[in-house]
Amino acid sequence: MRKSLLLSVLSLGFVTVSFAQTDSLMNMLNSGAPVKNEPVAATFKATRIIDGSSVENLGAGVLDFRISHRFGDLSQGSQNFFGLDNATTRIGLDYGITKWLMVGLGHSTFNKEDDGFLKIKLLKQKKTGMPITLSYAGSVSVQTTPAPTLPTGDTWLFSNRLYYTNQVLIARKFNDWLSLQLMPTIVHYNLVDSSKFSNNTVAIGIGGRIKVSKRIAITGEYYYRATNADMTYNGQKTYNALSLGIDIETGGHVFQLMFTNSQGLTDRTFIGQTTDSWGKGALHFGFNISRVFTVVKPREFRDTKATSW
Amino acid sequence: MKKLLLATCFLMAGSGTLFAQKYMTRTGKISFNATAVHSPEKIDAINNEVANILDAKTGDIVFQVLVKSFKFERELMQEHFNENYMESDKYPKAEFKGNVANVGEVNFSKDGTYNVKVSGKLTIHGVSNDVTVPGTITVKGNALSAKAKFSVVLKDYKIEVASMVADKLAKEATITLESDLTQK
């Protein structure tokens, strides 16, 4: 009796095993599955929050054609069609060399400035573990307006035209809709208005975005100058740059629309040489348009003949 | 007691052969194409990390993929796919649980290609639908190759197509699956 009881218990066990349902097959798949702790994607929609860099990099082999536009001062009134007559533009090409390294070149009408930058992603925020994304961004710019007329014997050095910016970008995507970024920054101006100003400006930027729908986000960016805040630019008082904007994403484009008190589009201009202020209503409407092209296809697509751009 | 021992041995042997009838892979390939007819750009992606088990005895078959493992030619498209369409942070996996209806017609000990009909539950974007898909199983020694091609209607899985991409993104995606399984 005992034997048969044991047997039936055993065979019951066997029956359970043989009823291997799809669920247990799924469990088998899950149990041995490699655990993937992927980096958090899309902290920001674009490689710029508004004026300054975000921690986003272009993918490897991706080329980004960017047009940025800042209209003139709104407070100029109807005389200048509320600023539309008096715009600055930057045209730029950015390229992702690897997943973590991107470079870019641009030309801006403000001071006829040429600029080049690189951005390196050093840490990536992960779902578990690493809480932040950290990048370094560095840029150099050359102002190419004609040299001023100087007394005979004096020479206008090329170095007078150069500016350097070094930034650390620290960002965290808190959830689906909220991302924040801190940007400790040093801008070096080779030439300043007067010897009483330092050539270095230390600033701390704070930026963020709030996603309001799948394709629309509200953005903000503020650069607070910790040192050298009294520096003038061409004799004019300067202000900290504050920009508020909206990101709209459509297929291959990202449109960024914004109001900002800075008309300059390069790091050195908006951080230390913004001469308009929100307080006086001297705002600029502007937009960034980005169009990306895949130049080098990902490995999986190399053998296909698709030419889709 | 001896009898019991024998019986246990027999049962263990029995369950042993049962397990041996499972075929498995973690490197199956799945791709989809959701390009609209007149679209200027191709909307397709590949995933080479399909996990798949087939129980040859019962015909039970399951597939599972991580949505984030789909690779697109365009990085931005991949981001949009994950963020806006599949919401892969919320629904990280897509899976299929089903049964090969005519598994009896497949002779797993004889090389050859067999037509099969698989029905079950396909779950994408957190939405499950019953589907029946025709496919083939090719037996070659101890290995199998399962192939299927079918299409899914995006709306059935609550995947919204924004009006601004309606000229590029088709309402239906063609899915091609190729999974090489080995005996486990």
| Chain A CA closest to residue B184 | A28
Residue B114 inside a domain? The answer is: yes
CB proximity A30 to B under 8 Å: yes
Report the gap between the CA of A103 and the closest CA in chain B (Å): 17
Distance (Å) from the alpha carbon of A299 to chain B's nearest alpha carbon: 9
What digits encode the pLDDT tens for the residues B26-62?
999 999 999 998 888 889 999 999 999 999 999 999 9
| Nearest by Cα to B177 from B139, B143, B150 | B150
Tens digit of each residue's pLDDT (9 = 90 or more) over A152-183 = 888 889 999 999 999 999 999 999 899 999 99
Total number of domains in chain A: 1
Q: Which residues on B lie below 8 Å from A28 (Cβ)?
A: 22, 24, 53
Cα of B67 vs its chain's centroid, Å: 12
Residue B8 within a domain: no
CA distance readout (Å), B119 to A82, A272, A297, B84, B157 = 65, 66, 36, 29, 17
Nearest-CA distance from B23 to chain A in Å?
11
List chain B residues with CB under 8 Å of A11: 11
In chain A, positions 98-117, which contact chain B (CB-CB < 8 Å)? none
Alpha-carbon gap, residue A138 to A119, rounded angstroms: 7
A303 touches chain B (CB under 8 A): no
Residue A229 counted as domain residue? yes
**Amino acid in the structure at residue B27:** T
Nearest to B15 among A14, A29, A251 (CB): A14
pLDDT at A250: 80
Does some domain include residue B122?
yes
- B1 CB within 8 Å of a chain A CB: yes
For B95, which of A7, A10, A26 is closest by C-beta distance? A26
**For residue A116, which of A89, A134, A95 has the smallest C-alpha distance?**
A95
Give me the interface pTM, i.e. the ipTM. 0.74
CA distance A260 to chain B (A): 27
Contacts across the A-B interface (CB distance below 8 Å):
117
| Contact map slice: A 70-89 vs B, CB within 8 A | none
Residue A150 lies in a domain: no
Strands (DSSP E) contained in chain A are 62-73, 88-96, 101-108, 113-123, 133-143, 162-173, 178-189, 200-211, 216-225, 242-250, 253-260, 284-294
Residues of B in contact with A176 (CB under 8 A): 89
| B165 neighbourhood in chain A, CB within 8 Å | 250-251
Query: What is the distance between the alpha carbons of residues A277 and A149, in angstroms, rounded to a whole number?
Result: 31
What interhelical angle do B2-20 and A2-18 show, nearest 10? Answer: 0
Whether B28 maps to a domain, the answer reads yes
Of B11, B51, B77, Cβ closest to residue A14: B11
Secondary structure element (H or E) that encloses residue B154, with its range: none
Q: What percent of chain A has pLDDT over 70?
A: 88
The pLDDT assigned to B1 comes to 60
Write the pLDDT tens digit of every residue in B64-102.
999 999 999 888 889 889 988 999 989 999 999 999 999
In a domain, A237, yes or no: yes
Say which CATH number the domain at B76 has. Answer: 2.40.128.110
**CATH code for the domain in which residue A178 is found:** 2.40.160.40
B39 interfacial to chain A (CB closer than 8 Å)? no
Residues of B in contact with A6 (CB under 8 A): 4
**Contact indicator for B79, B45 with CB cutoff of 8 Å:** no
Inter-chain contact B18–A59, Cβ cutoff 8 Å? no
For chain B, how many structural domains are there in total?
1
> Are residues B84 and A215, on separate chains, in Cβ contact within 8 Å?
yes
Residue A15 lies in a domain: no
Task: Indicate which of A17, A18, A22, A40 best probes the interface with B, i.e. most B CBs within 10 Å of its own CB.
Answer: A22
User: Residue A26 and residue B64: Cβ atoms within 8 Å?
Assistant: yes
Q: Name the residue among B14, B48, B68 with its Cβ closest to that of A14.
A: B14
Asked whether residue B17 is assigned to any structural domain, the reply reads: no
In this predicted structure, what is the pLDDT of residue A86? 77
For residues A248 and A121, the answer to whether their CB atoms sit within 8 Å is no
Residue B106 lies in a domain: yes
Cβ within 8 Å, pair A22-B60: yes
Tell me the C-alpha distance between A193 and A232, whole Å.
Answer: 6
Query: Between B66, B76, B84, which is nearest A252 by CB?
Result: B76
pLDDT of B121-155, one tens digit each? 999 999 999 999 999 999 999 999 999 999 999 99
Residue A26: list chain B partners with CB under 8 A. 62, 64, 95, 97
Distance between CA atoms of residues A231 and B106, nearest Å: 82
Which phi-psi region, left, alpha or beta, contains residue A236 (left: φ > 0; alpha: ψ -120 to 50)?
A: beta
The model's pLDDT over A197-245, given as tens digits with 9 standing for 90+, comes to 999 999 999 999 999 998 899 999 999 999 999 999 999 999 999 999 9
A233: containing domain: 62-144+160-301
Residue B163 covered by a domain: yes
Residue B39 domain-assigned? yes
Instruction: Find how far residue B181's CA is from the centre of its chain.
Output: 12
Residue B16: pLDDT band (50, 70, 90) is very low
| B76 close contact with A: CB closer than 8 A | yes
In sequence order, what are the residues at sequence separation of 6 or more whose Cβ sits closer than 8 angstroms to the Cβ of residue A85? A72
Determine the average pLDDT of the residues in A112-133: 95
Instruction: Determine contact: B16 vs chain A, CB below 8 A.
Output: no
> Which residue in A309, A120, A131, A132 sits closest to B76, CA to CA?
A309
H/E run at residue B125: none
Judged by CB atoms closer than 8 Å, whether chains meet at B58 and A7 is answered as no
Q: What are the backbone dihedrals phi and psi of residue A286, each rounded to the nearest 5 degrees, phi first?
A: -160, 175
- Domain interval for residue B130: 22-183
Residue labelled with tokens 């930026």: A207
Residues 109-128 (B) with a CB less than 8 A from some CB of A: 120
pLDDT recorded at residue A230: 94
pTM: 0.82
